[in-house]
Amino acid sequence: MRYAETGFDLEVDLSRGSIDRVETDPEMTKLHLGGLGTSARILWDRVPADAEPFSDDNLLIFSTGLLCGTAAPGCNRTIVTTFSPQTRLMAYSMMGGFWAPELKHAGYDKVILRGRSPDLVYLWINNDKVEIRDASHLRGKGAIETAECLRKELKEPNAQVAAIGLAGENRVFYASIEQGRSSASRGGIGAVMGDKGLKAIVVRGTKDVNIARPAEFMDLCKGVLDYIKWREDHPIPGVPAILSVLGSPQEMKIVDEEWHTTSFMWGNARTRRRDFWSHEIEEKWRKTQEDVRTRLISCYNCPMKCGATISVPGQPTYMMKCYSKLTYTMAAYSDLEFGFRIAQRATEYGVDGFSTPQVMAFALELLEAGILTDADFPGMPADVEGRFFWLLDRIVRREGIGDALADGTYWAAKRIGKGAEKFDHNTIKKQEQLPLKLGMLNPVYYLMYSTGEKINITQIEGQFPQAPFPTKEEREAFVKDWFQVPDPKFKQYLLDWEPRGENSNPLYPSVEASCDIVDWQEKMHYIDDALGTCAGLSSFPLKPPYHIHNFPGFVSAGTGIDFDEASLWKAATRNRTLLRAINVRRGMRRADDKPPEDHWKKRFPDLEKKLLDEYYKMKGFDGNGIPTKESLLDLDLACVAEDLEQRGIIGKANAAGEKAPAGEDLKGKEVLSHA
Ligand code: SF4
């Protein structure tokens, strides 16, 4: 018997209309845990290195995490993986809510989709009965509207639905997959779902999930729940309100947005408004938020309430959490009321709340600069809010200028030309980032921005404070009960970190300390993404309830496969290295590992080179960011080493960080750029 996981995947070929229930190899669980790890292995094994994102060969995998559906609090993430039309690299995006636990209870760990359906269809998974059904009546419908229609049509009010809106159908490069209480938004995974002709996956599951050692497992769950309660009553002092508690930043509860509105950029990630926040704004925004927020809501098996249902008069109710209430507001230099209003339409269309507002602000900048003209925007209203709604409608339909903008700022700038590339200043590997522009280089963030395979800073960071505490006393107080650290050296790193002087950015944390901190942060994310744990209870907040000291117990008692800290750390390293290998095989190299060009005003090329060199060394990569044969063998990834060697990618790449000679670089250029 398999524990925590079901041991079965659903394999669906949308071209042929076939559905198979396939038993999985338990060795893969030992190597890669589950979720992101096993999905990455499937992409490595089965998708050709030069497969186009929009092609029959590309796979779209909906995965549960290894602990999803168990009693482990907050283990509910659906991990969606594929190859991104926007970055052309591997995309992985996660959503909370109830979908993954429902799939586990239906008896499957993953749904693996290949091929493309000639007609729009949806997949209906009802325990053992699985059908591909016609979805032509859902064409053009919103993602939330689709979910409601399908629940009614199937007479299954408790079914969980993951659906795309118009943006996914029209293959907008930053289309999301929505599922009522959450969305998987990054990397254009909704566009791949649209390309496959799949409007939705509906799941109903009523089976049990087995646990190897239930009493031990439940004790660990109780420990996590007790800690969550304790932390609720003891927020961390000396950090911004949203960082002082657990969960996804509690923005549906918290009204104080001074930190975001004065630290983050407005418009196309351009302007900092240090004096924006005031008592009047706070009172106005409090009223706006409380008027539209009908209920705070949770995900499956979680005591936190990070999301809220939002009901704007005259519009259908939708769900929102986190920073998305501000992305449209700030990109349009507008007001919170506008943010709540446009987010409803954007959720129905199914678009990424980080990329979309920036693309629209970028378009308006091009208009202002004369690169685009009024002729490109026929009938666009004069007011900025009207303009944002107008642009959103054009983008999701790929109408007029909306067609270029639907490819994101990087590709749109290339298509528009006439100097538009200069206005694409906030992307990494062709994907829009949080609108942050800062003064002094931060070495830890430099590494995370440059090297993270997620290409999304908010889902790479966490655990270590974002800024030093001003006084020694505050630092000492912080480290006193910091038991989550994997090694006591991290406490010393924090104790020595000062806001000014020798021990401040950019020279401190030192190169070695920065690499250690990044390593810890990213490993925790890789563990979460394999287990399906919400980052809001683990890798993202300070002092979380899940950490490297209790995770091995959860995995061991849950699955019956014994892990200790070292072997769990190694599994996370293996998964991280595998993702790098996947992207390297598609042509990614050191030259691609860089933050947005103007992210920091003060840059230090020598220090940045040292940081990258040391990080690569620590990770077992060569100077070009390619995993070495030795490190791959050490991580039991001999098949990866062999493949990269056969292609001439390892063994011949030089250590100085230069590109391998032409012809040995696996058509890297062709893969990373659109023909
Ligand atoms: S912490 Fe928040 S986002 Fe995470 S599972 Fe719980 S309710 Fe969902």
Q: Note the pLDDT of residue 242.
A: 76
Query: From the alpha carbon of 303, which atom of ligand 1 is closest?
Result: 6
The pLDDT, as a whole number, for residue 249 is: 77
For residue 451, the surrounding DSSP H or E stretch is helix 443-451
Please tell me the residue having the least CA distance from ligand 1 atom 8.
299
Mean pLDDT of 457-473: 86
Q: Give mean pLDDT, residues 456-484.
A: 90
- Residue 613 is predicted with a pLDDT of 98
CB 447 within 8 A of CB 460: no
pLDDT for 239 equals: 86
The CA 459 to ligand 1 mean position distance, Å, reads 14
Amino acid at 23: E
Q: Model-level pTM? A: 0.95
- With a 6 Å cutoff on the Cβ, whether 96 touches ligand 1 is yes
Ligand 1 lined by 183 (C-beta under 6 Å): no
Q: Residue 654: its pLDDT value, please?
A: 44
Q: Is 93 helix (H, G, I), strand (E, B) or coil?
A: strand
Q: Cα(436) to centroid of ligand 1, in Å?
A: 25
Residue range 81-97, pLDDT digits in tens: 999 999 999 999 999 99
Spatial separation of the C-alpha atoms in residues 54 and 114, rounded to whole Å: 11
Give yes or no for residue 471 having a pLDDT over 50: yes
Report the amino acid identity of residue 572: A
Asked if residue 534 has its Cβ within 6 Å of ligand 1, the reply is: yes
> Is the beta carbon of 261 within 6 A of some atom in ligand 1?
no
**Helical spans, DSSP H, in 506-604:** 511-531, 551-559, 565-585
Ligand 1 near 536 CB (within 6 A) = yes
**The ligand 1 atom nearest the CA atom of 305:** 7
Whole-number Å distance, alpha carbon 295 to ligand 1 midpoint, is 15
Phi, psi dihedrals of residue 98, rounded to the nearest 5°: -125, 0
Pocket test for ligand 1, best of 304, 525, 540 (most atoms within 8 A of CB): 304
Residue 105 above 90 pLDDT?
A: yes
Q: List, in sequence order, every residue forming a beta bridge with 82; answer none if it has no partner.
A: 91
Distant-in-sequence, close-in-space partners of 452: CB < 8 Å, separation ≥ 6: 460, 522
Cα gap 6→24, rounded to integer Å? 9
Confidence bin at 459 (pLDDT 50/70/90): low
State phi, psi for 672 to the nearest 5 degrees. Answer: -85, -10
Beta pairing partners, 160: 203
Can you give the pLDDT at residue 671? 38
Closest residue CA from atom 5 of ligand 1: 74
Q: What integer pLDDT is reported at residue 259 of this predicted model?
A: 87
Instruction: Please name every residue paired with 93 in a beta bridge, in sequence order, or none if there are none.
Output: 80
Q: Is the dihedral of CA 41, 47, 49, 54 positive or negative?
A: negative
pLDDT reported for residue 283: 96
The pLDDT tens digits for 167-209 are 999 999 999 999 988 999 999 999 999 999 999 999 999 999 9
Q: Evaluate: CB of 248 within 6 angstroms of ligand 1.
A: yes
pLDDT-derived band at 250 (thresholds 50, 70, 90) equals confident
For the chain, what is the mean pLDDT? Answer: 94
How does pLDDT run across 285-306, given as a tens digit for each residue? Answer: 999 999 999 999 999 999 999 9
From residue 468, how far is each of 269, 447, 476, 495, 496 by CA, in Å?
25, 18, 12, 9, 9
- Please report the atom of ligand 1 found closest to the CA of residue 76: 5
Provide the pLDDT for residue 667. 36
What is the position in ligand 1's atom list of the atom closest to the CA of 247?
A: 1
- In the reported structure, the alpha carbon of residue 540 is separated from the centroid of ligand 1 by a whole-number distance in angstroms of 11
587 pocket-lining for ligand 1 (C-beta < 6 Å): no
pLDDT higher than 90, residue 668: no
Eight-class DSSP state of 351: B
Share of the chain above pLDDT 70, in %: 96
Q: Which atom of ligand 1 is nearest to the CA of 298?
A: 7
CB 294 within 8 A of CB 279: no
Is pLDDT at 256 greater than 50 in this prediction?
A: yes
Q: Does the beta carbon of 101 sit less than 6 angstroms from any atom of ligand 1?
A: no
**What separation in Å is there between the alpha carbon of 219 and the centre of ligand 1?**
21
| pLDDT, tens digit, 9 for 90 and up, residues 420-447 | 999 999 999 999 998 989 999 999 999 9
Ligand 1 centroid–CA 307 distance in Å is 8
Question: What digits encode the pLDDT tens for the residues 19-50?
Answer: 999 999 999 999 999 999 999 999 999 999 99
Q: Is 249 in the pocket of ligand 1 (CB under 6 A)?
A: no
The string of pLDDT tens digits covering residues 484-532 is: 999 999 999 999 999 999 999 999 999 999 999 999 999 999 999 999 9
Residue 661 has pLDDT above 80, yes or no: no
pLDDT band of 651, cuts 50, 70, 90: confident
Pocket test residue of 302, 525, 531 for ligand 1, highest count of atoms within 8 A of CB? 302
- State pLDDT tens for residues 540-592: 999 999 999 999 999 999 999 999 999 999 999 999 999 999 999 999 999 99
pLDDT category, 535, cuts 50, 70, 90? very high
Exposure b/e, 23-43, CB count within 10 A at least 16 = b:
ebeeebbebbbbbbbbbbbbb
Give the tens place of pLDDT for each residue, 389-422: 999 999 999 999 999 999 999 999 999 999 999 9
Backbone angles phi, psi at 167, to 5 degrees: -60, -40
Q: How confident is the model at residue 324 (pLDDT cuts 50, 70, 90)?
A: confident
Query: Is residue 536 exposed (0-12), middle (13-18) or buried (19+ Cβ within 10 Å)?
Result: buried
Q: Is the pLDDT of residue 386 over 80?
A: yes
Atom number of ligand 1 nearest to Cα 74: 5
How confident is the model at residue 672, as a pLDDT?
43
What's the rounded mean pLDDT across residues 619-642? 98
Find the 245 Cα to ligand 1 centroid distance in Å.
12
Tell whether the model's pLDDT for residue 253 goes beyond 70: yes
658 or 126, which is more confident = 126
